[in-house]
Chains A and B, each alone.
Chain A
Amino acid sequence: MSQESDVLVEIDDVYKYFPIKQGIIFKREIARVHAVDGVSLKVRRGETIGIVGESGCGKSTLARCITGLHPITKGRIVFDGQDISNLRGRALKPFHRDVQMIFQDPYGSLNPRRRVGAIIGDPFDIHGIASGAERKRRVQELMELVGLNPEHYNRFPAEFSGGQRQRIGIARALALKPKLIVCDEPVSALDVSIQAQVINLLKDLQDELGLTYVFIAHDLSVVRYVSDRVAVMYLGKIAENADGEELYENPRHPYTSALLSAASIADPDAAERRERIVLSGDVPSPIRPPSGCRFHPRCPKAQENCVDVAPDLIVRGGDTASHLTACHYPVEAAENLAVETAAIEQLSTEPTLPSA
């Protein structure tokens, strides 16, 4: 699947800043949140690209930029040969048919006062595709496709469990036969046994309908399972981007190694054997990100160079052409980071905003 070089979405040096404004009448911009800070990524047709990272790393903002929910600050997003970064309003409508989103919270993303049939059928109305009996037939087909009972057409979301609501969200996303589905933490809110049901469903639908997924999650084992390629984000930038197995077997960025070592393992012996790389401190504030490499205050390998020069996302020595790492001193195969601690002391990066 990943051999196909047919690119569906090309994200080219995209920036997304959120201004922080202050003032009563004349609102001045006093700072900005660097949510996505120069990200380039290619999504190929039919593949699943996983994006992992901690909260606040910009992965959800990036997803919203791809779906056009956030206008981007700078850069270019090309979808299926068309530059969509400057389209507004009506011109975006055909694009919205091709890109759909599945949200994290199956409780918050469905209107509690509307019936399931109406929720799933809305896209048909909005795009004027089907109405009346035809709409009902199509909605029931979709419900069947995602494993819901079509007889529950007239029920309210409150009558369904979390896993079933996530299926409703999936049916709604599939209604217009999109080319790309952006899944923003689709299984994080579900119980472990239900998670597996939804993941299997997403995989089956991909095989059946030839969908392309951008799959965002903080759970590394889920991302490894579903993704062909994985991008690791840290503070608005991509730290490492590689084929799934390659990234998990041979991580080069110290942050990736730390993330992998922190993942929970359901095997007592393996869990005892592994050496956790415990990172010190928290993710710095994206309002005033650290200079140079953004990971340097928490990195066990940081040197002076890392404070001044931001590393490029390029192929590092000995890696395959598809394995990109943004690190001056990538992790070598036999290296043990667990015994090292951050060499450069972490300073608080919480900015002091002028008081109103």
Chain B
Amino acid sequence: MSLLEVRDLKVSFDTSDGLVQAVRGVSFTVERGKTLGIVGESGSGKSVSTQTLLGLTAGALIDGEALFEGQDLLAMSDEQLRRIRGKEIAMIFQDPLSSLHPLYKVGKQIAEMIRQHESDVSKAQARKRAIELLGMVGIPEPGQRVDDYPHQFSGGMRQRAMIAMSLALNPKLIVADEPTTALDATVQAQILDLMLRLQREFDTALIMITHDLGVIADLADDVLVMYGGKPVEHADRRSLYYRPHHPYTKGLLESIPGSTGAKTRLKPIPGQPPSLINLPTGCAFHPRCEYVMDRCVPEEPPLAAVNDKDGFPDLGHTSACWLPREAAGLSTEVERIRQEAVALGRTTGALGSTAGSTVVDAGEAK
């Protein structure tokens, strides 16, 4: 049995502007001790889908199943969920300053969580464990720093304190929502290093949410790419980075300024992410896609297996795109397959121009 199995999760919010479809059907599994990376732009539903699992999206309309060790998290009462949050599943948020209470000492906040879940632990014991944890995540002089307030910590130290807190009860799963986005590059390296080390030590499963494909390149076992509230590609990390199938994944990889330093023009994805109230028909990515074909507009592509290098369907690598299953990768050969498919798939010239006109005010129109 997988540690966490999410099946067809749908989350929407009823607002005065209309129904916001934040997550429109996401399925994934997380195995014990493994790392799942979830990648997407703002508004892709990556944070909402994981926050929903922990009951943090109040007022949302939720549908689907999320089995954590066989129990459905979405069907639990608040009281049941409270026992799991922090103890079995811990969360690390993006902004460590606003996720720590400014008026309580850091050590007290960690100790409080321990005592909340383990009522037989005395105050002194909890404090001792808080000091140990702070030391473990690399805070110097933890015996003194345990009595500091969050504002006395630097950004990197606060994130370390958050990690210490999330590890306090030895959870089976940690959800890290952009844990290093607010930090500097050298501190980011420290934190990622720490998380990787602790994960190996405690055999914790990890869900890493990020918008930066660079952050999880050496961290994730599997990567799920989301767009417009839906997964568009799901693969093990090597397949995803070296043989991307979905044009959105390909676009994300290509819009990163090359670490090779080649001064060729960057290739951005034109246009804007879609509005979640008024989603495009068919494939949500079609207004921004350079390979858009006729069927992309009315018909939504399902997640389907992509062919591996030898031409056989690889069940571990799925992509929601109508392009041929062998069109995976960044080589010119694969590009030719894509272009041929697009030439066949477009019956009229009109489509290309309508797709272009929706992005004209934002894209490369000059």
Contact = CB atoms under 8 A, between A and B. Distances in A.
A195 B42 CA distance: 13
A263 interface: yes
Interface stretch (A5-13, A75-83, A273-281): A273-281
Nearest to A150: B361
Contacts of B156: 282
B154 interface: yes
Given A193-B41, A197-B364, A268-B241, A278 B255 contact: no
A265 B363 contact: no
B184 A163 contact: no
B269 interface: yes
B151 interface: no
A342 interface: no
B217 A268 contact: yes
Interface stretch (B48-56, B95-103, B167-175, B208-216): B208-216
Contacts of B86: none
A244 B364 CA distance: 26
Contacts of A148: 361
Contacts of B154: 282-283
B140 to A, nearest CB: 7
Interface residues of B, number: 51
Secondary structure at chain A's binding surface: helix, strand, loop or mixed? helix
B83 interface: no
B340 interface: no
Contacts of B265: 200, 203
Contacts, number: 153
B217 A264 contact: yes
Given A147-B362, A147-B366, A264-B215, A199 B193 contact: no
B237 interface: yes
B257 A222 contact: yes
Nearest to B190: A278
Contacts of B259: 221, 224, 263, 265-267, 270
Interface in B212-263: 212-215, 217-218, 237-238, 241-242, 251-253, 255-259, 261, 263
A200 B252 contact: no
B186 A147 contact: no
A345 B187 CA distance: 18
Contact of A282 (B157, B212, B273): B157
A348 B267 CA distance: 45
Nearest to B361: A149
Contacts of B189: 261-262, 276, 278-279
A92 interface: no
B212 A262 contact: no
Given A197-B268, A282-B154, A55 B261 contact: no
A164 B361 CA distance: 9
Of the candidates A147, A264, A269, the one having the most CB atoms from chain B within 10 angstroms of its own CB is A264
A169 to B, nearest CB: 15
A150 to B, nearest CB: 9
Interface in A275-325: 276, 278-279, 281-283
Interface string A210-250: 00000000111110110000000000000000001100110
A4 interface: no
A163 B270 CA distance: 11
Contacts of A191: 41-42, 211, 273
A195 to B, nearest CB: 7
Interface in A171-223: 191-197, 199-200, 203-204, 218-222
A268 B237 contact: yes
B27 interface: no
B266 A199 contact: yes
A264 B212 contact: yes
B57 interface: no
Interface string B307-346: 0000000000000000000000000000000000000000
A163 B363 contact: no
Given A262-B186, A265-B214, A164 B41 contact: no
A185 B268 CA distance: 18
A148 to B, nearest CB: 6
B257 A224 contact: yes
A334 B353 CA distance: 54
A145 interface: yes
B1 interface: no
A98 interface: no
Given A196-B268, A224-B257, A258 B186 contact: yes
Nearest to A264: B214
Contacts of A127: none
Given A193-B269, A264-B214, A54 B184 contact: yes
B2 interface: no
B199 interface: no
A37 B242 CA distance: 45
Contacts of B266: 196, 199-200, 225
A276 to B, nearest CB: 5
B148 to A, nearest CB: 11
Nearest to B269: A193
B188 interface: yes
A218 B181 CA distance: 12
B143 to A, nearest CB: 14
Nearest to A347: B140
A259 interface: yes
Contact of A152 (B212, B361, B363): B361
A235 B296 CA distance: 53
Given A54-B186, A191-B273, A259-B185, 16 more contacts: A147-B365, A192-B256, A195-B268, A200-B268, A224-B261, A225-B257, A225-B258, A225-B266, A249-B261, A261-B189, A267-B217, A269-B238, A276-B189, A278-B189, A279-B189, A283-B184
6 contacts: A195-B255, A266-B214, A266-B253, A271-B214, A271-B218, A346-B140
Interface of A: 54-55, 144-145, 147-149, 152, 161-164, 191-197, 199-200, 203-204, 218-222, 224-225, 244-245, 248-249, 258-259, 261-272, 276, 278-279, 281-283, 346, 348
